[in-house]
A and B are shown apart, each in its own frame.
Chain A
Amino acid sequence: MNLAAATNEHLASISNTLIYSSMAVYTLAFFAYIAEWLFGSRSKVGRTAAALTATAAGGGERRAGAPAVTVKSAGGTAVLERPKVVVRSASGARDVPDGPGAHGGDEQGDLYGRIAISLTVLAFLVELSGVVARAASVERAPWGNMYEFNITFSTVAVGVYLTLLALRKNVRWLGLFLITTVLLDLGLAVTVLYTASDQLVPALHSYWLYIHVSTAIFCGAVFYVGAVATILYLFKDSYENKLESGGTPGRFARSVLERLPASASLDKFAYRVNAAVFPLWTFTIIAGAIWAGDAWGRYWNWDPKETWSFITWIAYACYLHARATAGWKGRKAAYLALIAFGCWLFNYYGVNIFVTGKHSYAGV
């Protein structure tokens, strides 16, 4: 074994250590999130029901606490008052305030939540270095097989979450759900999918690999965030429906769902996330077709992977159409979004494992 190979093996083992360490930190973060939810449940929050009964009582059309406009100061003159923008939700929509988040307004819960986020940042950095070390060990982009896919995928998903947090978007409630699945994803990666570091077969030698695969992973991570929001939307929506029709939801549901954003906010968030990444997904498929044209001699082969990418694309197009079609908004559209994400998942796990096609990944 030559020297270069030895350093590579060394880097690969460093990468493995880093990935395991990040799992450990994610686990700590997971417990901190749990603590946030547990302590948050102490405070009693019942805003949804209050808001809904207020609406029912009439007159509550306007949302309280509408965003005030920030206005430049006008040349130092004493300012009387500034125009404030009043926001009114579209007719037919429920006016429900967003929940306070997992900590439920409880100070100790909030503290645990902040610890959880700090741990998530730490775990993210460790995992990221693990991915980079892996890339260095194989001297190429770290996405040649399913193990590398999984570790990159979860890194990107957490990266998307942290970026949204840094942009001060209201996404803190995603934490527990995201980290749970990140742990699952990593667990699968290090047990079932583990592949020793390896070079690529000639068909994967192409700069299209960087373009096509990196966008595919990114789209998957963002679609995943959208899917989580969609699922929570469905729960929260039926919770609100139940309250509206005078029912009493169970204590657990009340405790958890009360703290999430309003169903309308969740729905909007899911839509924006999915819609924002859809053009990139379109690009991913087209880049894949161009690559296939160079590698296999045909742009479109109806190879299972291509077919499922196409199905996923059509399913998301259905979802976007549904949002634009009266009578399909809301829950029906949400089901379509989940089906679309299901197609994406199947394309990744199902097609790689059960169906053989031209897309081959070493080690699976």
Chain B
Amino acid sequence: MSTTETDKGREQEELGAAGSRLSTAPQEEAVSLPGLGVIGWARWFWRQLTSMRVALLLLLLLSLGAIPGSLIPQTGADATKVDAFRAAHKTLAPVYDKLGLFHVYSSVWFSAIYILLFVSLIGCIVPRTWQFVGQLRGRPPGAPRRLDRLPAYTTWRTEADPEQVREAALALVRRRRFRAHVAGDAVAAEKGYVRELGNLVFHIALIVLLVAFASGQMYKSDGTKLMVEGDGFSNALPMYDDFKSGSLFTTDDLSPFSFSLKDFKGTYELTGPNRGTPRTFQAKVAYSEGADGKERSTTVKVNEPLKIGEAKVYLVSHGYAPVITVRDGKGEVVYQDAVPLLPLDGNVTSQGVIKVMDGYRDAQGKKDQLGVRAFFLPTYGGGASVLSQFPALLNPVLNLEPYHGDLGVNSGIPQSVYQLDKTHMKGFKDAQGRQLRGNLKPGQTLKLPDGAGSITLEKDVKEWAGFEIVQEPGGGWALVGALGAIFGLAASLFIQRRRVWVRAVRGADGVTVVEMAGLGRSESAKLPEELGDLAANLYDRAPGAPDPDDSTPSPAGPAEGAEK
């Protein structure tokens, strides 16, 4: 049900100034046509923008606008999914592209909504703050003419003097921490200003939150690094595998530090229906802060990043890096390294390529290049199974598929280290003339045909860990904003702002008539309770007098509202 205009008008008339300024919420004004000229229009536009109605609409738009980003793949979250979507929806994708639906949260229209909302917010906060300061400096408004029209009301007759009653009432409400003063024949008191303060703090905190977030985005840096056990890293741009940064970031902003991966350990559920589910991932690292700080060691876990200076180092992925030794036709070691392989499934079936670019000579002593496709099963299930049965190293097997020829690494086209371009490569053949394949256990060697050399899987299978190194300033401010928002909200929603008036007037028969009334802005059952409590207290100081025999209403004010 909505309050009709006439109701409002009547209420206004009855309460007068007493009901005003109980909040700093802007009045909804009737939509009047703007005055002439640019300034008139600008003022009209500004009024509209900062009205509660438009704030509400913008909020609704913001929530609607956030929906597509959760249903359509986003480049920021998963670029490969976006590519797949593009391939699958040939007609829809260009339309989505035009609308920015693959990056909703940085699209023009989404930005427009929240920028407008925040302009509206600032345009709302500033005048409300001034108004609030004004209310704090002023005094609670005097009692309305007819107290019995207020939401909570009580009255009684007493022998006490009106002045005494007013004094007692003033002392009483002041003790209850009302701001109060005597205005004419009544005490005016008000309490709960923290509600308004909380509301303003909440809305200001939203701005702090947004500014912190936006500046964080602009100054942030975010890169990844894959490290095999034993590898080291120092925080400089060339060391990263992959690096993104905000528009105002400069390389000088990178915190100086270095760390190395000593050991990675993953544990998994060994039995039960969830056999193989990861339990813990831990990376032991040694790190030092600054150019030549003292080395310290620590453990990085999934939920426990390493914090160094401005940066945080997160453990984000892991896998195996078998150590491979390649000998050439003359039996010389031409390659020995741990080769990180990419996991394909939950049981860490992994895939990768061993590339031997120079130094290798075939049986005839001719220069050649080797490319070996590698599949690794940390737990080989036996038989023809090509998938690992468990993520830990229970029965590791490396499957190799060697090729030789031109790897194409010098062709200028960037190449993934995990993929083999076979266009200029020839496979080694086994005795039957088929592609040579070999399954190696740790310590075993695959001989290449015709004395072309050998590939050995060393006993020690290393693990690698992927780290993400993030620097995002402004986190502290964001937290301040968030806490401010919560406390502001709590104050704004739990505290009632209310006014109480106590009027004491001598009636025609010489007996004092006390009237008390309360007015709150929000819907609460507490208001009558509080008023009753105050009344009971005051009643003790100004006890009731017997009713006059004739029940003519006293001229001071209609006591008709009192229940006998």
Contact = CB atoms under 8 A, between A and B. Distances in A.
Tell me, yes or no, whether A binds B: yes
Interface of A: 1, 5, 62, 66-67, 69-72, 74, 77, 80-94, 196, 198-199, 201-203, 205-206, 208, 237, 241, 263, 268, 271-272, 275-276, 278-279, 282-283, 286, 289-291, 293-304, 307-308, 310-311, 314-315, 317-318, 320-322, 324-331, 343, 351, 355, 362
B561 A62 contact: yes
Given A66-B563, A196-B273, A307-B69, A88 B150 contact: yes
Contacts of A93: 1
Contacts of B28: 325-327
B60 interface: yes
A208 B302 CA distance: 13
A328 B56 CA distance: 10
A331 B1 CA distance: 7
B20 interface: no
B272 interface: yes
15 contacts: A72-B540, A81-B156, A85-B152, A88-B150, A88-B153, A90-B151, A196-B273, A279-B486, A295-B302, A299-B475, A314-B59, A325-B28, A327-B28, A329-B1, A331-B1
B546 A85 contact: no
Interface stretch (B276-284, B427-435, B438-446): B276-284
Interface of B: 1-4, 7-8, 10-11, 25, 28, 52-53, 55-56, 59-60, 62-63, 66-67, 69-71, 74, 76-77, 104-105, 148-156, 213, 222, 269, 271-274, 277-281, 301-305, 312, 314, 316, 468, 470, 472, 475, 478-479, 482, 485-486, 489-490, 493-494, 514, 516, 523, 528-529, 531-533, 535-536, 539-540, 543-544, 546, 561-564
Name, among B2, B8, B67, the residue most crowded by chain A CB atoms within 10 Å (CB to CB): B2
B70 A198 contact: no
A291 B305 CA distance: 11
A326 B74 contact: no
Given A83-B535, A279-B489, A298-B470, A202 B56 contact: no
A197 to B, nearest CB: 9
Given A198-B277, A299-B478, A303-B77, A85 B302 contact: no
A271 B523 contact: yes
Contacts of A91: 3, 7-8, 10-11
Give 5 closest A-B pairs by Cβ, nearest first.
Answer: A69-B532, A92-B7, A314-B63, A92-B3, A307-B70
B62 A314 contact: yes
Contacts of B2: 92, 327, 329-330
A329 B1 CA distance: 7
Contact of B523 (A206, A268, A282, A300): A268
B458 to A, nearest CB: 29
Contact of A199 (B279, B490, B529): B279
A359 to B, nearest CB: 12
B562 A84 contact: yes
Contacts of B77: 301-303
Contacts of B493: 275-276, 278-279, 320
A237 B1 contact: yes
B539 A85 contact: no
Contacts of B151: 87-90
Given A84-B562, A199-B279, A311 B152 contact: no
Contact of B70 (A297, A308, A327): A308
B69 to A, nearest CB: 6
B137 to A, nearest CB: 24
A295 B10 CA distance: 58
Contacts of B74: 302
A5 B272 contact: yes
A97 B151 CA distance: 16
A257 B490 CA distance: 34
B478 A198 contact: no
Given A66-B563, A74-B543, A302 B1 contact: no
Given A314-B63, A318-B60, A355-B71, A71 B302 contact: no
A254 B59 CA distance: 38
A84 B475 contact: no
Contacts of A320: 493
Contact of B278 (A202, A208, A283, A293): A202
Contact of B305 (A276, A283, A294): A294
Nearest to A294: B303
Residue among A85, A90, A318, A321 with max Cβ neighbours from chain B (10 Å): A85
A149 B281 CA distance: 25
A199 B76 contact: no
A326 B152 contact: no
A178 to B, nearest CB: 23
B539 A297 contact: no
Given A83-B535, A325-B28, A328-B56, A202 B69 contact: no
Contacts of A271: 523
A47 to B, nearest CB: 18
B70 A282 contact: no
A203 B60 CA distance: 33
B59 A318 contact: yes
Contacts of B105: 302
B7 A71 contact: no
Given A89-B151, A202-B278, A279-B490, 19 more contacts: A72-B540, A82-B536, A86-B152, A87-B151, A88-B149, A205-B280, A205-B302, A205-B303, A278-B489, A279-B489, A290-B479, A297-B316, A302-B76, A302-B77, A325-B52, A325-B53, A326-B28, A327-B28, A331-B1
A219 to B, nearest CB: 13
Contacts of A66: 528, 563
A203 B532 contact: no
Given A279-B489, A314-B63, A202 B280 contact: yes
A202 B539 contact: no
Contact of B539 (A82, A294, A330): A82
